[in-house]
Structure 1
Amino acid sequence: MRRVPFEPMLLPLGEDVIDQLTFINELINANKSVAQYQIMLRNAKVSPKLLLNPIMLNEAVQSTKIEGTQVTLDEVLEVEAQSRKNNKDVQEVMNYFHALNQGMETLRMLPISTRLFKLLHKTLMSNAVRGSNRSPGEYRKSQNFIGPAGCTIETATYIPPEPQLVDKYMDNLEKYINNPKDNLNELVRIAIIHAQFETIHPFLDGNGRIGRILIPIYLYYKEVIDYPNFFLSETLEKDKHKYYRYLNDTRYKSDWNQWIKFFLESVDIQARKNIKLIEEFNNLYEHDLAIAQRLVNSSSIKTLVDAMFQRPVFTVKTMTIATGLSDATCRRYLATLEENRLIFSNNKQRSKTFYYYNLLDKLR
């Protein structure tokens, strides 16, 4: 029997589909943890804006890892510092990072919409990465399917809607995002929105990454979080087979409650991990700033330490740009910090690269 493309339910989902009592405890825990994380961020000794760059890069690494790309955070930071040659795997990560930034900036001018999705997708598929020849920035005009490498449409684990229905379903999703007309909590809504986006699978490639970018952007858009830096890719990557199975169960078993429960559990796990991370960042910042200020008797050393938190892998050149300090001053300060083992270098004569391992160890 020939397998046919799936036709999703339109949003909002009815009360006969969603039973909030089945995930009420997970929802309470997730909301509590996210609220605590926001309070921690607001009172952090390190500015959240400083931490946004390395945390977003780490999210980019984790999200592309789900798609099979094997790149470390160190490698990406080395390319960003221009001390390592770029390659296609790193470029995929950098594209994701740029799309995240673009989404955050574009929300000031555009709502979450088809226009935004296509803009982010074009960025994600730029610079000759895998999939760059598969209609970047455009919804698909042909049938796609999902499954293990080498599978056919007959052996696929999921067949998304027919291409002529993509616009209809994406219009419905856009309306739900901006005018949901239900009484669900925003964390439950983003669980539904993420699953529906993945079910529609509107692009020929990159749907998983755009769908994961949508999570922090939506929560930021709805003012659930103060900064678009709440990412689930690391938690989802650890349970990726469960993640894919529960997504599929929303389609072929209409089991949305199981998926929402899993999503909320993931939110709670990630929020608690983020709380611990902010505590560690605070302690590290206080400790290492005090050491740096003892070693360098100048108020500008704080500017350097702040820049190290923003870019924990760097060269003298990238640090002079980040801090506004002179080349000679940066070299003198960095030599002192390296001599006292606060930072380490690769000892190259030209384009020496420095590593702030105290921070890197907590990000990895």
Structure 2
Amino acid sequence: MTRTPFVPEELPLKQERIDQLLYIRELIDANKKVAQYQVLLENSKIPSQLLLNPVMLHEAVQSTKIEGTQVTLDEVLEVEAQSRKNNKDIQEVLNYYHTLREGMDKLAFLPLSTRLFKSMHTTLMSNEVRGGNRSPGEYRRIQNFIGPEGCTLETATYIPPAPHLVDQYMSNLEIYINDPKDDLDELIRVAIIHAQFETIHPFLDGNGRIGRILIPLYLFNKKVIDYPNFFLSEALEKDKHKYYRFLNDTRYKGDWDQWIKFFLEAVIIQANKNIRLINDVNKLYEHDLNVAQSLINSSNVKKLIDAIFQKPIFTVHSICSTAELSEVTCRRYLSILEAERIIFSDGKQRSKTYYYYNLLDKLR
């Protein structure tokens, strides 16, 4: 029997599709945890933008890992510091990072819309990465399908909507994102939006990554979070087979409650992890800044520590630029910090690379 493309429901979902009582406890807990994380960020000793760079890179690593790309955070940070040669796997992670930043920046003047999705997709597929020749920045005009490597249309686990329907479904999704006509909580809405985007699968490649970037952008856009820095890829990657199965069950079984409950549980897991991270990093920042200031009698040392928190793997050249300090001053400060084992280097005479393991251990 010939398998046919799936025909999704348009949004908003019919009322009978969702029974919030089945996960009311998870919904309350998820909202409470996200709010707690926001309060912690607001009252953090460390300026929230300092951690944004390494946390976003960590998200990029986790999200591309779901797609099968095996790269470590250290490797990506080494390429950023120009102490390691780039390759296509690392470039995929960097593309994701730049796509995430682009989405954040463009939300200032663009709604969550087809225009924004296509622009982000162009960035995601740039620099000759896998899929870079598969219509970057354009919705698909041919049929695609999803399944294990080597599968065919007949053996695929999911066949997205026919290409001539993609514009219609994306237009419906865009309307729902910006003007929903239901009374659902925003965390439930974003679970539905992510699932619907993955169901439509509007691009030939990169749908999972764009769909996961959509989660923090949506929550930021709706003022659930104060900065688009709540990432779910790590929690989803941990249970990725469940993630894919439950997404598929929304399609072929119409089981949205199972998916939403799973999504809210992922929010709780990630929020708890974020709360621990902020608490741990606050203590680390306060401790290591105090130690550095006791070793180096200059107000400039705070600039250096702030820069190291943004780039925990670095060279002298990359860190003095971030810290806005002279190279001579940076070298002197770094030699003192290295002697006290606050930072470590690879020991090279030329183009030495430094590692701030105190922070890296908490991010990994």
TM range (shorter): over 0.9
Question: Equivalences for 1:1-364 in 2 at 5 Å?
Answer: 1-364=1-364
Tell me the SS of whatever aligns to 1:267: helix
Deviation at 1:116, TM superposition (A): 0.3
**Whole-angstrom CA distance in 2 between matches of 1:304 and 1:26:** 42
Deviation at 1:339, TM superposition (A): 0.7
Tell me the SS of whatever aligns to 1:314: strand
**1:213-243 per-position Cα deviation (integer Å, ceiling 9, x unaligned):** 0000100111100111100000000000000
Deviation at 1:280, TM superposition (A): 0.1
Deviation at 1:350, TM superposition (A): 1.5
Equivalenced residue count is 364
**1:117-148 per-position Cα deviation (integer Å, ceiling 9, x unaligned):** 00000000000000000000000000000000
**Whole-angstrom CA distance in 2 between matches of 1:241 and 1:320:** 44
**Whole-angstrom CA distance in 2 between matches of 1:260 and 1:324:** 46
Deviation at 1:14, TM superposition (A): 1.1
**Whole-angstrom CA distance in 2 between matches of 1:79 and 1:45:** 29
**Whole-angstrom CA distance in 1 between matches of 2:323 and 2:74:** 21
Deviation at 1:110, TM superposition (A): 0.2
Opposite residue 160 of structure 1, the aligned amino acid is: P
Tell me the SS of whatever aligns to 1:155: coil
Deviation at 1:261, TM superposition (A): 0.5
Deviation at 1:348, TM superposition (A): 1.1
**1:276-316 per-position Cα deviation (integer Å, ceiling 9, x unaligned):** 10000000001101110111111110110010100000010
Tell me the SS of whatever aligns to 1:16: helix
Deviation at 1:317, TM superposition (A): 0.4
Alignment gaps of 5+ in structure 1: none
**1:57-111 per-position Cα deviation (integer Å, ceiling 9, x unaligned):** 0000000000000000000000000111100000000000000000000000100
**Whole-angstrom CA distance in 1 between matches of 2:12 and 2:3:** 27
Opposite residue 305 of structure 1, the aligned amino acid is: I
**Whole-angstrom CA distance in 2 between matches of 1:340 and 1:115:** 51
Deviation at 1:20, TM superposition (A): 1.1
Opposite residue 44 of structure 2, the aligned amino acid is: A
Tell me the SS of whatever aligns to 2:6: coil
Deviation at 1:324, TM superposition (A): 1.1
Tell me the SS of whatever aligns to 1:354: strand
TM-score normalised to structure 2 length: 1.00
Deviates more, 1:190-199 or 1:320-329: 320-329
Deviates more, 1:152-161 or 1:347-356: 347-356
Give the fraction of aligned pairs with identical amino acids, expressed as a percent: 73
**1:39-58 per-position Cα deviation (integer Å, ceiling 9, x unaligned):** 00000111110010000000
**Whole-angstrom CA distance in 2 between matches of 1:21 and 1:256:** 13
Opposite residue 41 of structure 2, the aligned amino acid is: L
Deviation at 1:349, TM superposition (A): 1.5
Deviation at 1:352, TM superposition (A): 0.5
Tell me the SS of whatever aligns to 2:75: helix
Deviation at 1:23, TM superposition (A): 1.3
Deviates more, 1:346-355 or 1:145-154: 346-355
**Whole-angstrom CA distance in 1 between matches of 2:276 and 2:326:** 36
**Whole-angstrom CA distance in 1 between matches of 2:230 and 2:120:** 18
Opposite residue 355 of structure 1, the aligned amino acid is: Y
Tell me the SS of whatever aligns to 1:227: coil
**Whole-angstrom CA distance in 2 between matches of 1:320 and 1:121:** 33
**1:226-265 per-position Cα deviation (integer Å, ceiling 9, x unaligned):** 1111000000000000000000000000000110000001
